[in-house]
Structure 1
Amino acid sequence: MNFLDMPKRTIGNRTFGLTSIADFGVPVGQLRCILDDYHSYIDVAKLGVGSAYVTPNFDEKIKLYKQYGIKVYCGGTLFEKCYYQGKLDEYRKFLQKHGVEWIEVSNGTLDIPLETRFDLVNELKADFSVLGEVGSKDQTQELSARSWVLEMNSLLEAGCKYVITEGRDSGTAGIYNPNGEVKKSIIKELTKQVDINRVIFEAPTSKQQMYFINAFGPNVNLGNVKMQDALLLEAERVGLRSETFFMEPDSNPARL
């Protein structure tokens, strides 16, 4: 019985309000138990870093995610490894063979020019739903707010379904300072010039997740969420944690 007034969440096959978890090697049996209880809170699953290439029972894992209606893709590091070795055609065949329908185009480790990524998205979108990631894993590499906006809008224009803000699984790069604090000037510009419903903010820590929930409301897209935090994040989204306690039922702040 539901009796509390809480912020309204998108449900079912969401197009925004997404929770994208990071799978860094959870065994299939454990994954089955997690999804049995919490699949309704999970929309997307990333097989983190390049782990998909060495994952035991890979096909079984992909099938399990799909069974629960969860979109699955391989981390951008695997894409970049294949790009670096000139093996993108083999990578495409690998994904198609295993029934992976989403692909990430990133430049977190390599410096792949935006024009090249634009062309790759145009090419890949015929066979995959494409995610474009912006930002570097290298903390010494700084993109201006203008460059963040330009890259995100260019990748969306090229055909990406969503764009992802790099944050690493540690939450210390890309849109974050090395201490994990959000680079608010960048977020402010994205708010003004990019369709936020098509941006997935990597936010691996609760503090970072609650920053975006309080800034954009319960239906902000969040990524790199630890699998074991899926339930906790849903509670945060609907005002069941102290830091989001006072969110109104029709809350959609976007007050940056």
Structure 2
Amino acid sequence: MTPSALLLPRRAVKPRKSGLTMVIDGGVPLGQFTDQIELGAEYIDYVKFGWGTSIVTNCLREKIAVLDGSDIGFYFGGTLFEKFVLQGRFEDYRRFCEQHGARHVEVSNGTIDMSNAEKAGYVRKLAADFTVVSEVGFKDPGRSELLPPSEWIACISEDLDAGAALVTLEARESGKSGICRADGALRDGLVEDVLNAGIPERHLLFEAPTSALQTHLITRIGPDVNLGNVPAQGVISTETLRLGLRADTLTVFERG
């Protein structure tokens, strides 16, 4: 509970439509997962089971039960979607999501050879039955850097028009691709062009696995920026950045 003596930025309570925090699970043990979720549940909106980890996680249903008990949504990594599509098993992917009770799905083309128009087609196919989170940007940093801001904006708009509720801006779990350069530096010009394109910020989810990226985006956009790929052990830290309770943002939201 926030001490009443402090004036802090107002944060919406769950279920939120902005200020979302998406945590990525790369395969931590069930006990650790449970502890981390219980500690940060009020600050976590979604958990993504990263890339294809859900296929080889023997406690996946137990983890999903933990999330259900804390009213936290989940979805499987876009790389898993791409693997199913690559093998011509799209309907199997849909069934896999349904069998696990997923209400959200991620649709991406970060690795395989798929045009954004084709990706948007999959968004349309899934949007009637799921809340779709699409992704723009590539896993390979060199390939992402060749995608000009105008194309990023066009792809984001196309995905939203196709029915995506959120569009994720790629940075990977390392923070070294997509909206970031290979050295981890944020591509400021790209982010500014996207923000100035008139796309509602509530529809954008910025992957920001590092405190440096989180700090930049919170400072630039505000405490209710949507952040993704946050490590579970960093949820509390991220929330302190949003509220100006860490040195990096301590003075950002002060008035006068």
Short-chain TM bin: over 0.9
Percent identity among equivalent residues? 38
SS in 1 for 2:180: coil
Which of 139, 142, 156 is the matching residue for 2:141?
A: 139
Give the structure 1 partner of residue 216 of structure 2.
Answer: 211
How much does 1:37 deviate? Answer: 2.0
How much does 1:249 deviate? Answer: 5.8
Which of 91, 98, 101 is the matching residue for 1:99?
A: 101
Q: Are the counterparts in 1 of residues 37 and 232 from structure 2 also a CA contact under 8 Å? A: no
Q: Are the counterparts in 1 of residues 40 and 235 from structure 2 also a CA contact under 8 Å? A: yes
How much does 1:213 deviate? Answer: 0.3
1:5-44 matches, within 5 Å, as 5-44=7-46
Give the structure 1 partner of residue 88 of structure 2.
Answer: 86
Give the distance between the partners of 1:59 and 1:75, measured in 2 at CA: 16
Q: Are the counterparts in 2 of residues 190 and 196 from structure 1 also a CA contact under 8 Å? A: no
Give the distance between the partners of 2:186 and 2:36, measured in 1 at CA: 30
Give the distance between the partners of 1:81 and 1:229, measured in 2 at CA: 29
Give the aligned residue type for 1:223: G
Q: Between 69-78 and 240-249, report the one with greater CA deviation.
A: 240-249
Q: How many aligned positions are there?
A: 250
Q: Between 42-51 and 55-64, report the one with greater CA deviation.
A: 55-64
Give the structure 1 partner of residue 249 of structure 2.
Answer: 244
Q: Does 1:157 align with 2:161?
A: yes
SS in 1 for 2:84: helix
What is the CA deviation profile of residues 39-67 of structure 1, one whole-angstrom value per residue up to 9, with x for unaligned ones?
00111100011101111121121121121
Which of 162, 167, 171 is the matching residue for 1:167?
A: 171
Give the distance between the partners of 1:2 and 1:43, measured in 2 at CA: 25
TM-score (norm 1): 0.95
Give the aligned residue type for 1:162: L
What is the CA deviation profile of residues 25-50 of structure 1, one whole-angstrom value per residue up to 9, with x for unaligned ones?
12222222222221001111000111
- Gaps of at least 5 residues in structure 1 are 251-256
Give the structure 2 partner of residue 234 of structure 1.
Answer: 239
SS in 2 for 1:225: strand
- Gaps of at least 5 residues in structure 2 are none
Give the aligned residue type for 1:166: E
Give the structure 2 partner of residue 253 of structure 1.
Answer: none
Which of 170, 187, 207 is the matching residue for 1:202?
A: 207
How much does 1:196 deviate? Answer: 1.2
SS in 1 for 2:67: helix
What is the CA deviation profile of residues 192-242 of structure 1, one whole-angstrom value per residue up to 9, with x for unaligned ones?
122111100001100000000000010000000011000000011100111
Runs of 4+ residues deviating >3 angstroms? none
TM-score (norm 2): 0.95
